[in-house]
Amino acid sequence: MSNFPFPALKIKGKSLLPVVQGGMGVGISAHRLAGTVALQGALGTISSVDLRRHHADLMAQTDRSRDKEKINHANLIALDREIKAAKAMADGKGMIAVNIMRAVAEYPAYVRQACESGADAIVVGAGLPMDLPELTAEFPDVALIPILSDARGIALILKKWMRRNRLPDAIVIENPQFAAGHLGAANLDEVSNPRFAFEQVLNEVFSLFESLGLERDRIPLIAAGGVHTHEQVKALMEMGASGVQLGTPFAVSAEGDAHPEFKKVLTHAKKEDIVTFMSVAGLPARAVRTPWLSTYLEKLEKLQRNAKPKRCTVGFDCLTQCGLRDGIAKAGQFCIDTQLAFALKGDVKRGLFFRGSEPLPFGSAIRPVADLIDYLLTGIRPQFSADEGLVPAST
């Protein structure tokens, strides 16, 4: 840690490298990625969504099933296995977090399972986790980290949690203008609103802390969305962030749990291929315009006109509120679980491939997690060979 020019990120008394790997579903950040990141001394995050897809035995029991309880049970077993495998890989270093989307129907069960299986932290995005302190009351050593995009959301959480004598152990501030996956903005027009700029939000949050009687450094703030250079890390730390969180660059790392084709879609996407649209979860989302997404967006108006409540396509009822199942016209009209599962398998035609808007630190090269963290913290790039650096120049 002393080789890096930044102070440690301190969460629950543990000193970590100030680079966090964000949770990525379905199955993009499972035990291999999170365990590798933690072994480096940083915070690695497993995404809890539909993890059975990484376990052939669990898929054999549930792939064709419409039995919701059976699917949910298989997913809890998978989550338990993934946490234990990541912790074993980490060998006591860093931290293993579990990312749970508030919008997911099984959110309380995932929170409980993550705590029971030994996760060091619970990270919640896609909604306001007002009830997280109660859900984790029996596990006071588990760090609680909400993901929010503005000071207004942070104020709501802080005021509610402080009434229960609990504070977040860190807060991820995710800028919807650049981040991948679900975005913390009310609608598509809001996504690029300059009010989400890191400097503005950090300053507003520091004023909020002051008004609530909290010291400036009481809760570490972690900036997420579009971070891809050492210079950005430096600038964000100077603005008062205690760390940065990255998604897309970790998804395409050598140890990322995604299929090689998944990584290729993300690394080869051009700026104009990256689009925002409404997800079924009722939030804007950002992804690569692959064949399925392109066709879907062309048909969207018609799909929205015909939106009406129906049975969940796969019987899994993964979301509390689903635009497709519940016939909510202004939300997305596709089954996110089905499309993300195709992406996980590397099905370029049918998958949904979440990606942030910004360039990748190493272009289209697939590099180890250690290189990414090193570069972000020191500014020293690993050397690449002429063919985009798929092998180090020294070998």
Give the interface with ligand FMN as residue ranges (CB under 6 A).
22-25, 28, 47, 49, 99, 101, 125, 147, 174, 178-181, 224-227, 245-248, 251, 354-356, 358
**Residue 391 identity (one-letter amino acid):** V
Structure tokens at 346: 């590397």
Instruction: Give the residue with the Cβ less far from ligand SF4, 54 or 325.
Output: 325
Are 151 and 201 a contacting pair, CB within 8 Å?
yes
Instruction: Give the pair of three-digit tokens for residue 230.
Output: 């050492």
Catalogue the long-range contacts made by 383-392 (C-beta closer than 8 Å, 24 or more residues apart).
388/363, 388/364, 389/362, 389/363, 389/365, 390/365, 390/366
φ/ψ (deg, to 5) at 143: -70, 145
- Residue 355 C-beta: closest distance to ligand FMN, Å: 6
354: helix, strand or coil:
strand
* Smallest gap from residue 251 Cβ to ligand FMN (A): 5
Q: Which does 312 bind (CB under 5 to 8 A by kind): ligand SF4, ligand FMN, none?
A: ligand SF4
Residue 107 as a binder of ligand SF4 (CB under 6 A): the answer is no
**Binding site partner of 382, from ligand FMN, ligand SF4, none, Cβ cut-off 5-8 A by kind:** none
Contact 49, 316 (CB under 8 A): no
Among 61, 304, 313, 378, binds ligand SF4 (CB under 6 A): 313
Q: Binding of ligand SF4 at residue 26 (CB under 6 A)? A: no
Q: Which helix (H) or strand (E) holds 43?
A: strand 43-47
Segment 278-297, which members bind ligand SF4 (CB under 6 A)? 280
- Number of H helices and E strands in the chain, helices first, is 13, 13
Q: Among the candidate windows 75-83, 221-229, 307-315, 373-381, which touches ligand SF4 by CB under 6 A?
A: 307-315
- Residues 226 to 285 in contact with ligand SF4, rule: CB under 6 A: 280
Helices 31-39 and 369-378: angle between axes, nearest 10 degrees: 50
CB of 35 closer than 8 Å to CB of 258 = no
Measured from the CB atom, the residue of 22 and 284 that comes closer to ligand FMN is 22
- Between strands 14-16 and 9-11, the pairing is antiparallel
Give me the residue label for tokens 């409980």.
112
Nearer residue to ligand FMN within complex by CB, 25 or 35: 25
319 binds, among ligand SF4, ligand FMN, none (CB under 5 to 8 A by kind): ligand SF4
Would you say 154 and 148 are in contact if contact means Cβ atoms under 8 Å apart? Answer: yes
Smaller CB separation from ligand FMN, 41 or 226: 226
Minimum separation from the CB atom of position 146 to ligand FMN (A): 10
Nearer to ligand SF4, 66 or 93 (CB): 66
